[in-house]
Amino acid sequence: MKLVVQRVSEANVEVDNEIVGEIEEGLMVLVGFGINDGTEQADYLAKKLLKLRIFPDDNGRMNLSVKDINGKLLLIPQFTLYASTKKNRPSFHKALHPDKATELFDYFVDKCSESIGVETGSFGAFMNVSLLNNGPVTILLEKE
């Protein structure tokens, strides 16, 4: 499982010219699942994501989590994180099958929602994602 985590001042996701998810200060997270991923990886990364201290404290040091600042998450399903680029045309054979990935994405959203406000993109839809990256701060989290 892979997460691309971006600290944002604001972010939203559109499907068919309609905003389906929107947050102010928080984390916009691209979420990808590999063929061997399951609830163990989702549990681990949900906990890690919510405790990740990448927001500045009063001294300007990255010392606060998204929960500490009362921020929100915008979770975007992103199977292309598992692209194999050995050739010029990416292959996605390492990505989890969409049926299983949809279930695991929903599970991950539920786990994160236990502690914080969560908005999402739409699994399998063509999405336009807009964000104002704060910093910029971008972190890659993985659990194989």
Catalytically annotated residues:
80
Exposure class string for 71-105: b at 16+ Cβ within 10 A, else e: bbbbbbbbbebbeeeeeeeeeeeebbeeeebeebb
Q: Are 32 and 95 in contact (CB under 8 A)?
A: yes
| Distance from the Cα of residue 126 to its chain's centroid | 16
